[in-house]
Amino acid sequence: EYDGERNSEGERHGRGKALLPNGDTYDGEYESGFRNGRGTYRFRNGARYIGEYLQNKKHGHGIFFYPDGSKYEGDWVNDQRHGYGEYTYANGDTYTGEWFNNNRHGQGTYVYKDTGSKYVGGWVNGNQEGEAELIHLNHRFKGKFLNGNPVGHGKYVFNIGCEQNGEYIQSQQDKEEGEEEEEPSLLVAPKWKASEITKLTLWTPHGENPPSPREASLPSLHEVFSEGFSPTMDAGEEDEGSKEEEENKDQEDQGEE
C-alpha cells in the first residue's frame, strides 16, 4: 500500500507513506520510485531507522535503533556504517569514532560502562590494533595493540606520579605447546615483562606527601597485572546487531508495491 505523491510517470515521487508486504513501513521522501532523501523506516521486529536514503539504501546521516536496545548514530554509505559515528551497545558500552564497511576501523574511543575504563586509539576491521591508550581509573597503559591485545614495548603510567616501562611478550606456555600452537595462542594472553620503574615526580597535591616509590608502585602493579582486561568483550553485542541488520536489510529489499 502507498499513500503519497507521484510523478507524471506514476512513480512514487515526493512525500509518501508505504506499507510493505512483510509488515515494515516507510514514511518519508521518494524520488522516481526510490526511497530518496529523509525518512523513517520501521521494521516489523521493532527496529527503526531515521535518516537519509539514496536509491532505497541508507546513505548519509542516520540513527538506527536495534531490537536489543542498542543504537548507532552517524554516517552511512550504501547501507553500511561508514564514516564517523557512535554505537551504544545493549550493555551500555559505547564506541565513538571511525567506521569502514560496518566495522570499527580507523581511530576511535571505546568506553566500558561497568568499569569506566576506555580504549583510545587505532582499530582495524573491528579489532583494537595500532597505537593506543587503555585508560583506567587510577592508571593507564600506552603502547601498541594487535587483535585486541597489547603487544611489544609500552608503559604503565600511574596517577600517583610514577610509570613502569616494559613489554608484552608471548608466554612461555605458548612457545612450548608445539602441535597445539594455534589453540593456546587464542587462550593465553601476552605476559607483561617490566624493565624499570621511574622515580616519583615532585607532585604533592594539597600539600600532602606522596607515598614512597615502594608503596606507590609495587601494590598497584600487582593489582594491575592480575586484574586483566577484555578489550573485545563487546564483539558479541555488535555481531548480534549486525546480524539483526542483515535480516532487516533483506526484509527491506523486498517488494515495495
Q: Is pLDDT of 257 > 70? A: no
> b or e along 43-67 (b: 16 or more beta carbons within 10 Å of the residue's beta carbon)?
beeebbbbbbbbebbbbebbbbbbb
DSSP letters, 21-87, are TTS-EEEEEEETTEEEEEEEEE-TTS-EEEEEEETTEEEEEEEEE-TTS-EEEEEEETTEEEEEEEE
Residue 44 pLDDT level (bands cut at 50, 70, 90): very high
Instruction: Name which of 120, 140, 139, 138 is nearest 130 in CA terms.
Output: 120
Query: pTM to 2 decimals?
Result: 0.74
Whether pLDDT at 175 is above 50 = no
pLDDT score at 120: 98
Band (pLDDT 50/70/90 cuts) for residue 201 is low
pLDDT at 256 over 60: no
179, exposed or middle or buried, with CB in 10 Å at 0-12, 13-18, 19+? exposed
pLDDT of the residue at 26: 98
Instruction: Give tens-digit pLDDT for 216-225.
Output: 333 344 444 4
- Please, what are the domains in the chain? 1-90 (2.20.110.10), 99-171+189-203 (2.20.110)
Given this model, what pLDDT does residue 199 score?
Answer: 60
Evaluate whether 76 touches 62 at the Cβ level (below 8 Å).
yes
